[in-house]
A and B are shown apart, each in its own frame.
Chain A
């Protein structure tokens, strides 16, 4: 009897720990939104003042509207393109797909602020590409600033977030299902529409959902591409609220964050409903050989390659190219020949600042070691929810998405408070552990889902075989389940390394002398105008990430399987 409850104790403990870890910062924000001042200020009173303020501010409604349009636009661009890209790379014999696979993830390597700077250097009013176009047309035929540019580039750079989940789902479709459709006379696109698409539906629903949340909490791109045209989204509206009174007004920030949070619940609910209805689609793992890919004719090859190339140009070459160029010049833009201003000074400057070297080390430790620990934590959560029909299993679905529903800087501030005001956590604050915990929770929505998908592919028979052979649930997980999904875990680890390397918002408040991290240092440097160093740092970061990523792929790591 005692051992029968072992699994229940484990599940209960994990869900309770997850709830505590997620709800502490989120709950603090909710509490803060109902106060008249900082929550630690004894004179603060409870009330609706903060909501009263934002709900009577016309700027709030305009920012709200813009945010919703932005989110819809991002999903409308990123989801179809991400799905198409995944289809081409996983299900067809597209030429060069081996090289395209890692490239498709490159927009995820950099924080959005840096990507935004990259876009201004290449496509801005004085951008290198813009000036070239001006030479041809006599004027710059585009304007990247404003809601249009924001949606377009937001959508294009979020394609990897869809590709990642869609390609994982598509790889698991047994090719005999597609072949069956082809033998009945369906063309490639009919197969895609009638077979592949419905089978990928659950993954795309999740990806859409994630992208809505990412758009809601997106800050870097709206700051760089929205600001010049006066386009304000809720996150940049929060920024404005902060400055409005000269000192941070936490209750106003929190109230806006709570509005964003409130939008998450119906979204998760809709997602669950849609997925519940589509459960009949979830056919995990075909047994047959999956080697056959759909053959594209020469015309289709050209069309598909041209489409992928265009996307790569807009989402990878222009922003990354912009940052790379910026890293090696001292001046650029109108009337400047950049070849006359090539320099390595930007890199030399990095050497003189000890905090930067430290932040590089810390970031790598956090990404590599922390990423592994985070994957371990996600595995525990995923196992707790695995084959569990208990009442709280659905709670996990909500909990993992909550941290992503809040703007990163607000979550970062909240984590700072949690580590500051919870006595048991105080000793951790000046250590990297505090950042690791915060990163792990913020990264939940990325990593948990990947591991969960892997677990679902383990046939229940394999687990039951272990149970009947005498293994407890825990022994079954250790000896059977975890070894089987090991390749998936390594893929998730690679993914978390990428996510942690570029993370910036979480550490802005939490980092302290000795625990500096690159992303958050960049935030401080942006305020001070050290764009030269930011570009140089970003260049190094791209090289490291891409290098590590290619190495991982060489070693046989599958990121999206």
Chain B
């Protein structure tokens, strides 16, 4: 469990706090999406989860470890992994499997054990077949999956993804989102994803919306995206199909508002098309 209590943080260069009294509990096995416009504080929040940043006020605990406890930093970093936006900045080796082995090697593990972990991690993200390739020959989506495998090889309980698909094409986005979802549902890894893509957020169990360093919405995607007007005011968006339903409801057409996917909306619209006289 990650427990964030009254967390505040102010950057040296700013007067305004980037995080202003955040209280959140992330339970084991959850899949949480964090939304917010550029500068809302969501990346700052993410960086507190594995002590890249330390609180100016309040506390962050991950499985009982206080992130400010410098003596337990190595343990914390193994517990909470982080994947960033740009895969090119996260890959260090010239062969895929060597890159994935980088973390476990630094833990001083015996080589059979490293082999085991690397193979497992690569299979988990569907990159095992490409283990002997050079990262520069891979597509963006494949590189990002290698970066994720590097984190999995450390066997974290929690992974924080900071806009993991922002630099990828549609196919790469799909591949990476599939890998992330499988990590959560099959491996039970607690997942926090920061994203600007509303369709990605719609796939989470829970959405947290941050604005001016505060939690504004903390709810299921269905309920969170029902706040179409508020989200737009915060510089955010809802999935196109959700917006369509919202606007049709505004015209007095009886539709359920909490529909998120193309299939759900199609069913709902079909009902409306039959009902009207």
- The judgment on whether A and B are partners is no
B-side residues, CB < 8 A to A, are: none
